Structure 1
Amino acid sequence: VFKLKGKRVLLIGLGSRGRSACRLLCSSGASVVAVDRKDNKQLQRETKPLTKLGAEVHLGLAKPLAKLLDGVELGVISVGGIRETAWVSALRKLDISLIGELELGFQQLRCLNIAVTGTNGKTSTAKLIERVLSGTQRETRLAGKVDCPICDAVDDSKELDYLILAVNSFQLELTQFLSPTVAVLTNIASDHMDHYGNMVEYVKAKSRMFANQQPFDWAIIQSEALAQIRSLGVEIPSKIITFSSSNRRADISLDRGLIVSRVPGWEGPL
């Protein structure tokens, strides 16, 4: 876990998630240099409050400046569709630790979390989980998307039972210690091939959500997606429950319009 107080941090990307990360970094006592290749009036308005928090903001910088890299101990990336930008290349060349805003927020959380990813349905699934848990009197909050970044949920997290996270493959690429109590993978279908180039790299990115789970955690995975992950030799360390709309061998499946369970102790229609 990274200690932020007194650390010089370079933040790349000042969209909604990036600004959220900047606020968290500043409140944690970090010395923040924030850059974005874009520069327009709207972004100027949106980033102005960050300078009042103590951040050093630079807009319109597509190429790295040596003076801004000087003394940097940590890089945080928050860009739509994490690409290999010149700034990222410069940080890697200097062997500076690099994480994404999802990892930054996760490391500061003070509650359990349920993470949901998948090519399709992650946001609607995360919202459904949040509503079900709220209905059982659990203190929950939904985060991870552009309109509710994880870093904005950190301050209130000690009051929560669960933080529900809807996360994408780009965010998962830059995780190191992310460890969901429950990790849900809805499916894996061809997507973002302009970035990944092939399905192998895309599946690897999705499977990172399970990498740091413990044997007592849970992984809820579409059976077809689990087969894709295992075909790459990736092992999932947590307890697994599979589901499928077509595979009758899955732990939970559909049969003549019924949701049927094969989970020990929960056998039969649900």
Structure 2
Amino acid sequence: MNQKILVAGSGKSGIAAVGLILKTGDEVILYDSNDALNKDELLHQFGEEGRISVLLGELKKEDLSGVSLCVISPGISLEAPFVAVLKEADIPVWSEIQLAYHHAKGKLAAITGTNGKTTTTALIGEIMKAYYEHVFVVGNIGVPYTEEALKTTEDSVTVAEVSSFQLETITDFRPDVSAILNITPDHLDRHKTMECYIEVKERITSNQRSQDFCILNYDDPVLREFGKTIKPQVVYFSSRQFLEEGYCMDGDRIIRNHNGERTEIADIHGVQLLGRHNHENIMAAAAVAAEMGVPMEIISQAVREFKAVEHRIEFVAEKAGVKYYNDSKGTNPDAAIQAIKAMPGPTLLIAGGYDKNSQYDEWIESFDGKVKYMVLLGQTREKIAECAARHGFTNVMYAEDMQEAVKVCASYANRGDHVLLSPACASWGMFKCYEERGEIFKESVRNL
């Protein structure tokens, strides 16, 4: 019997969810609280007769007649007014990854954490493609899981980057291998407390069983303790401690210790990813791939050949002896700390953006003499400047847009310096997304 499903949100995720639902024969109501949207333009994307309708503005209980399920886009808070209407009508709310999982087949690896998700997911995807014939890399990495779910088969492998927003509304979502890379403060404007944020991240393991695996960061005390409480088999990785069992560093070598055997994965001088945090990403990717059945020699080769993903400490160009790096995906202070640590010399930093209620003290302290100047943009610029002043850093300038910020850095940089865009903030307000912010930065650099 066909269902009537409400899809909340008309962005990329919502549109992909509608497409999946229509292909399975169910009926859809596409809902968006923005009543200024054009219904005809939204409907035109699907070309379906009678099985999709569009509802804009306030959602009322009478609008839910016959609706059995709501699929909510990750950008929508569960505190949105219409969610209370759904709860009152006793309509279950699924995330898009839950919908996709419901229809998908084959093996699934799912990666979450505050930082490093995209790089790790992309690297796992490349490792899988070197061994398996049919591989899908989905989620926050740019391709909605719902867009690919119906293409999966019993023999395919899916690698999914999943966010805390997506994990809020899962029911039986169950990866064969999960990974939590790290947990540091982020999205507290939505989750309110670190306890809530941690609990949501840890939900990735909530349906896993004893035959499944969970890859955890041993250096994160929350995750180290969490590993003692869960059903799946735990594999740890550490960039700071030697592990008798797990993935760790041996000098400059990334190794795996397992059942008394030592296997070298890569020498850090032979990989193209900069920084300790990326060594951790490599360990996590290798661990996931190994538990998904990929031989270690294939893992090692893929690791050596892998290049940094776009917008994550991405080398852009060298102009007048100054190297420019795009880390637009550094949307929180901890990610921005890792980018600063990865810079090999004096750095001029472009930062600032939308305020996610983050604290910037630890980030400012991480400058440690490496950051020469900071050029600030967006809503948070005064807040960041005040924090910097409290820590004795006063080489701060403001810019009205990215083009101005890049020109200011170019005028103050000396040969051998590095200019880094690593905002420590979300892009909203000035840009549609972090990708747009990064592209504008790169274009500004090229135009110098």
TM-score, normalised via structure 1 length? 0.88
1:166 deviation in Å?
A: 0.7
The structural deviation recorded for 1:192 is 0.4
> Displacement, 1:66?
2.7
Identity %: 27
- SS of residue paired to 1:99: strand
* Aligned AA (2:125): E
Please state how far the C-alpha of 1:160 moved relative to its aligned partner.
5.0
C-alpha contact 1:188 1:203 (8 A) present in aligned 2: yes
Q: Map Cα deviations across residues 45-93 of structure 1 (whole Å, 9 max, x no partner).
A: 354223625211123x1x2123311222111111415341111111112
Query: Which residue of the partner structure matches residue 224 of structure 1?
Result: 219
Partner of 2:52: 55
Cα deviation, residue 215, structure 1:
0.9
Alpha-carbon offset, residue 268 of structure 1: 5.2
Partner residue in 2 for 1:192 = 187
> Aligned AA for 2:222?
Q
Who wins on radius of gyration, i.e. which is larger? 2
Partner residue, 2:241: 247
Of the structure 1 ranges 228-237 and 135-144, higher mean CA displacement relative to structure 2 is found in 228-237
Deviates more, 1:34-43 or 1:139-148: 34-43
The equivalent residue for 2:30 is 34
Aligned to 1:92: 87
Contact 1:10 1:33 in 2 (8 A): yes
Greater relative contact order (Cα < 8 A, sep 6+): 1
SS at 1:260 equivalent: strand
Q: Which amino acid aligns with 1:17?
A: S
1:228, CA displacement in angstroms?
1.1
Distance in 2 of aligned mates of 1:44 and 1:252: 53
> CA 1:233–1:122 in 2, change beyond 3 Å: closer, same or farther?
closer
1:136 to 120, 131, 134: 131
Q: Provide the secondary structure at the position in 1 that maps to 2:101.
A: helix
CA distance in 2, matches of 1:180, 1:78: 20
Look up the SS of the partner of 1:84 in the other structure: coil
Change (3 A) 1:265 1:157: farther
Q: 2:231 pairs with 230, 237, 240, which one?
A: 237
- Please give the residue correspondences for 1:2-151 in structure 2 after superposition, counting only pairs within 5 Å: 5-39=1-35, 45-50=41-46, 52=48, 54-59=51-56, 61=57, 63-145=58-140, 147-151=142-146
Deviations 1:200-232 (A, max 9, x none): 11111111111111111111111134x414657
* RMSD over equivalenced CA pairs, Å: 2.3
- TM, length-normalised to structure 2: 0.55
CA contact (8 A) 1:221 1:243 kept: yes
Q: Deviations along 1:119-173, whole A, 9 cap, x unmatched?
A: 1111111111111111124321111127311111122101752011011000011
For 2:262, give the aligned amino acid.
E
Q: Which amino acid aligns with 2:52?
A: A
